[in-house]
Amino acid sequence: MVAETLLQAVNDALRTEMEADDRVVLIGEDVGKDGGVFRATEGLINTFGPERVMDAPLNEAGIIGVATGMAMYGMRPVAEIQFMDFIYPGFDQIVSEASKIRYRSGGTYTVPMVIRTPYGGGIKGGIYHSQSTEAYFTHLPGVKVVSPSTPYDAKGLLIASIRDPDVVIFLEPKRVYRSFREEVPEGDYTVPLGKAKTARKGKDVTLVSYGASVHTCIQAAEEASREGISAEVIDLRTLLPIDIETLLASVNRTGRLIVVNEANKFGSFAGEISALVAERAIDVLSAPIYRISGFDTPFSYTWESVFMPDAAKVLEYIRKAVNY
């Protein structure tokens, strides 16, 4: 075991898979000599060379399109998009090509590729470096969407994503990149895609989230415990496919649900979670389902701390749910 940050765990996962499988290649802007904008690929070009760690021009459509072609013909590319906010020039490649190739070819081709990109606020990045638009990608059959919240999960989920036969959008919460360390096993291990985890056990209310907001929920749950309220925290880890069974089991125990994420509230993935639970477990609910998200405005630089849900706001809704 070694103590790693989430950023180091991502680098560790890439190195582990590149050593194990020479089909794994990296492509993206500045991923080579510079090691990526956050240094997630730092040092890998020195080990594996420019043939496997490829700097690309400022062309997200080209990065994703080239990676799609590589994947179709036997490679396992990992494409880096510097910020989720920059992915949209390559959006058509994901929506119209990569996500549909298995279906349209009748299974003749698969697209085993990963698109890594940091997302969310918390680093004073402003409007073009802070968005959380993960809901766009959860609308796509043929794509998996993953967002770890801890270093251990980041390494295990990324290795599992690289080995997956289909497109995986791997969303890295940049606010957590260097915020803490935890012990991560050396070498090879995986965390299965499509399986949530209980980050904190409780009996009075369920908080569900993913990525950086999981830590906000844990902090709020700890504060609620001082008031005699027992809050359970579910970390989805994989948004698509979602582990609805684990979530429903928690809601059946607590009878209350609060969904927390950083995205604009209207049309966010929080709404899909709410709908799934309402369809299947409305008869066990003792309070309305509450969504705590960002505002329906562009992401604010000056008011970042107000835009993003914090523990105080989550605690407010915990009280509201248990006292309904």
Residues in the chain: 324
Q: Which residues pair with 182 in a beta bridge?
A: 4
- Sequence-distant (≥ 6) Cβ neighbours of residue 279 within 8 angstroms: none
Cα–Cα distance for residue pair 225/231, rounded to 1 Å: 7
- Whether 261 and 132 have beta carbons less than 8 Å apart is answered as yes
The tokens for 275 are 């709908």
- Catalytic residue flag (residue 215): no
Beta strands in the chain (DSSP E): 2-4, 24-28, 53-55, 76-80, 114-119, 143-146, 167-173, 182-184, 197-200, 205-209, 231-235, 238-240, 257-264, 290-294
Angle (nearest 5°) at CA 176 between 170 and 180: 130
Q: Considering 52, 76, 116, 129, which one is annotated as catalytic?
A: 129
What positions carry a catalytic annotation? Answer: 129
